[in-house]
């Protein structure tokens, strides 16, 4: 039997991350050949990966990487089965290594086929580490964003966001991080209400009104105040005619209340602002630029960005484990 030294075991551990006993067994089987031992560990990983293929890898770490020019960013999730593994420092370090490679590729498929090191691809590294860790590992999400300036924010290893701005500036880093926090926290699915199709808005309007009407039946039964049923749910529905009609209704209300006509111009802007707010619930939920800004709810995101200069948000990406959403315009 070939004598296996501690130095050989340590070398194999550094190359694979496998445990000491696993490395020693692989070296014994490979008769001291490091490359053959790596192959043995990889085959072990393949067998474990096959056995655990149907397992749910819902835990993991979301990481991001921005290039030196701040014009390209990637957010990826390295998924595993348990939070015990996900919270390990070496696992987080591997996720960061993955992101540093991922930023150079335009698709998840190309990234998986890329070299992790001189000995294996990213996909092969995942298989190897499945054998080492004993859990199913996979790349859950992969999102790339390019823009004149790209910033990022990661929330607790669970949610990652990228935001692209139309230009670099003294405030670009601050704005892109703040808006990335908004993306991570509030889960917008599109940039602006202008991206909605009329069919989508019509279907959403019908569905939301139906839910409110159902809720009102129960509220009425309990003798509680009924919810307001909006006429509209998106700015895309608020045509000039709709806004004019709302303004006339507001004037009629002021007249009925006996408010002097000479002070209406001081009251109407607030009423119209309230009308628009009450009738754009879809935009406020799903459109990044139309959401209330989490750090100052007196502004929406578009107003916050405008207050910091003449750059605009041109796109964003959001990753939560294996579920992701994005918008690029």
3-state helix vs strand vs coil in the chain, percent to 5: 50, 20, 30
Judged by average pLDDT, the poorest of 7-21, 94-108, 110-124, 297-311 is 7-21
What pLDDT does 40 receive? 81
CA nearest to 278, candidates 242, 225, 233, 216: 233
| CA distances from residue 280 to 151, 248, 276, 291 in whole angstroms, order as listed | 28, 19, 6, 10
What pLDDT, on the 0 to 100 scale, is given for residue 197? Answer: 96
Would the pLDDT of 254 be above 90? yes
pLDDT (mean) for 78-95? 90
- Number of domains within the chain: 3
Which is more confidently placed, 82 or 179? 179
Average pLDDT of the residues in 17-30? 81
201 and 176 inside one domain: no
Task: Judge whether 187 lies within some domain.
Answer: no
The residue assigned the tokens 């303004």 is 247
Question: CA 45, 50, 51, 57 torsion: positive or negative?
Answer: positive
- For residue 119, pLDDT over 90 is answered with no
Query: Nearest CA to 149 among 321, 324, 277, 305?
Result: 305
- Surface-to-core class of residue 260, CB atoms within 10 Å of its CB (0-12 exposed, 13-18 middle, 19+ buried): exposed
Dist. CA 194–CA 192, nearest whole Å: 5
Percent of the chain at pLDDT > 90 equals: 67
18-22, 31-35, 123-127: least confident range? 18-22
- Selected residue with higher pLDDT from 224 and 127: 224
End-to-end CA distance of the chain: 64
Q: pLDDT digits over 157-213, tens only? A: 899 999 999 999 999 999 999 999 999 999 999 999 999 999 999 999 999 999 999
43 and 135 inside one domain = no
Q: What is the mean pLDDT of residues 228-257?
A: 94
Same domain for 165 and 132? yes
Mean pLDDT of 117-144: 89
State how far the Cα of 114 lies from the Cα of 136, in Å rounded to an integer. 20
Q: Domain boundary at 151, 182, 213, which?
A: 182
The residue among 127, 150, 182 that closes a domain is 182
Q: What angle do CA 218, 221, 227 make, to 5 degrees?
A: 50
Give me the domain span that covers residue 80: 59-182
Specify whether the backbone of 89 is left (phi greater than 0), alpha (psi in -120 to 50) or beta.
Answer: alpha
Helix (H, G, I), strand (E, B) or coil at 144: strand
Distances (CA, A) of 288 to 158, 208, 275, 313, 324: 20, 20, 20, 9, 15
What's the CATH number where 83 sits? 3.30.479.20
Q: Mean pLDDT of all residues in the chain?
A: 90
CATH number assigned to the domain comprising residue 30: 1.10.8.10
Q: How far apart are CA 213 and CA 216, in angstroms?
A: 5
Among 139, 158, 182, residue at a domain's last position: 182
Residue 256's H or E segment, with its range, is helix 240-256
* pTM beyond 0.85, yes or no: no
CB atoms < 10 A from the CB of 132, how many? 21
């Amino acid at each position: 039997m070939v004598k296996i030294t501690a130095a050989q075991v340590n070398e194999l551990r550094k190359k694979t991350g496998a445990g000491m006993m696993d490395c020693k067994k692989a070296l014994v089987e490979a008769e001291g050949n490091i490359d053959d031992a790596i192959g043995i560990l990889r085959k072990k990983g393949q067998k474990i990966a096959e056995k655990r293929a149907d397992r749910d890898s819902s835990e993991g770490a979301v990481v991001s990487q921005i290039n030196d020019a701040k014009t390209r960013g990637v957010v990826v999730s390295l998924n595993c089965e348990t939070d015990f593994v996900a919270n390990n420092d070496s696992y987080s370090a591997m996720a960061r290594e993955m992101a540093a490679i991922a930023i150079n590729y335009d698709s998840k498929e190309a990234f998986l086929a890329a070299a992790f090191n001189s000995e294996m691809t990213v996909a092969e590294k995942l298989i190897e580490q499945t054998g080492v860790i004993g859990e199913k590992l996979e790349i859950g999400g992969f999102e790339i964003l390019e823009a004149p300036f790209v910033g990022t924010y990661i929330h607790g290893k669970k949610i990652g966001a990228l935001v692209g701005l139309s230009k670099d500036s003294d405030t670009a880093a601050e704005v892109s991080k703040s808006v990335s926090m908004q993306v991570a926290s509030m889960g917008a699915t599109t940039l602006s209400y202008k991206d909605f199709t009329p069919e989508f808005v019509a279907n959403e309007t019908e569905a939301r009104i139906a839910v409110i009407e159902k809720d009102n039946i129960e509220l009425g039964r309990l003798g509680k105040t009924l919810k307001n049923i909006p006429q509209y749910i998106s700015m895309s529905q608020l045509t000039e005619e709709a806004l004019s009609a709302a303004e006339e209704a507001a004037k009629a209300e002021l007249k009925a209340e006996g408010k002097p006509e000479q002070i209406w111009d001081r009251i109407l802007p607030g009423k119209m602002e309230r009308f628009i707010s009450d009738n754009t619930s879809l935009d406020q939920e799903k459109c990044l630029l139309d959401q209330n800004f989490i750090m100052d709810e007196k502004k929406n995101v578009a107003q916050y960005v405008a207050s910091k200069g003449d750059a605009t948000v041109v796109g964003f990406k959001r990753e939560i484990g294996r579920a992701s959403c994005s918008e690029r315009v």
